[in-house]
Amino acid sequence: MTQTLDIQCEANLPVPPAQVWETVATGSGNLRWVFEMEIEPWVGGIVSRGPSTVTVWDPPRHFACLRAIEGFSALLEYRIEAREGGSVMYTSIHREYIHPIDDLDFQRDIAEKHTFFYNHTLEQYLRHFNGRPATFVELLAPAGSQAPDALKKLCHRLGLPDDVAQGDTVQVTLPDAGQQEAVVDYLHPAFLGLRTRDGLYRFFGRNAWGWPIGMSLHLFAEGIDAKHTEQAWRTWLDETFG
């Protein structure tokens, strides 16, 4: 008997459908909020993440892709519905079909929390940086970041106070940008999102599930040196968790 994970997110976004489509259904758009994912723009086209195959291509309304291997398949779907006044109702669907496993609740917890964080980041991009291309940097912290208190340690190193709350404006020290004012746009025991004037900094506390912490940076200033930025953060992560 196949088991199903079904995760859905919805948001009312203050941008026209074409701008949402360009952000979720193109390679350059995905760099602005999620991860590297090139998409061939036709039904049957290849999506590099997975890899998957495009199953629906109806710009700017409906996109879906499917990854299918023995014992597992995963559907990613975006629906974009225009509303009066120029806004959009955006729906994201993440669905997995898997053979029965003992840890389904564990897998659901991981998938739900990551999906919610990614879609929150999409909203942040469209509300605060819409139309700006991104330099994308992705990192994995050393094995020492698997410790139960690793994300808390990272927050302290950034300069966040113990009583910080989502929505707070704080002063943080970033390896790639120095002292910066940032909004804590997302705060969860396993995730941290910081929004600066020119970037979205995403911290994935996967130590909550026994894995190293991950990071993604979506940087919108011109002239960003991705290799220099990656090295600055890698050194910082090694110092913090090495």
CATH of span 135-241: 3.30.530
Q: Are 217 and 129 in contact (CB under 8 A)?
A: no
Share of the chain residues as helix, strand and coil, in percent rounded to the nearest 5: 30, 40, 30
Please, where in the chain does CATH 3.30.530.20 lie? 3-128
Predicted confidence (pLDDT) per residue in 80-122, tens digit:
999 988 899 999 999 998 877 668 888 899 999 999 999 999 9
On the question of pLDDT at 2 being above 80, the answer is: no
Maximum alpha-carbon separation in the chain = 54
Q: Are 181 and 196 in contact (CB under 8 A)?
A: yes
CA distances from 68 to 72, 97, 99, 114, 188 (A): 6, 9, 13, 21, 32
CATH of span 3-128: 3.30.530.20
Predicted confidence (pLDDT) per residue in 118-166, tens digit:
999 999 999 999 999 999 999 999 999 999 999 999 999 999 999 999 9
What's the residue count for the chain? 242
On the question of pLDDT at 6 being above 70, the answer is: yes
Q: What is the pTM of this model?
A: 0.96
Amino acid type, 71 = G
Q: Are 91 and 79 in contact (CB under 8 A)?
A: yes
Q: Are 242 and 144 in contact (CB under 8 A)?
A: yes
Q: Are 21 and 30 in contact (CB under 8 A)?
A: no
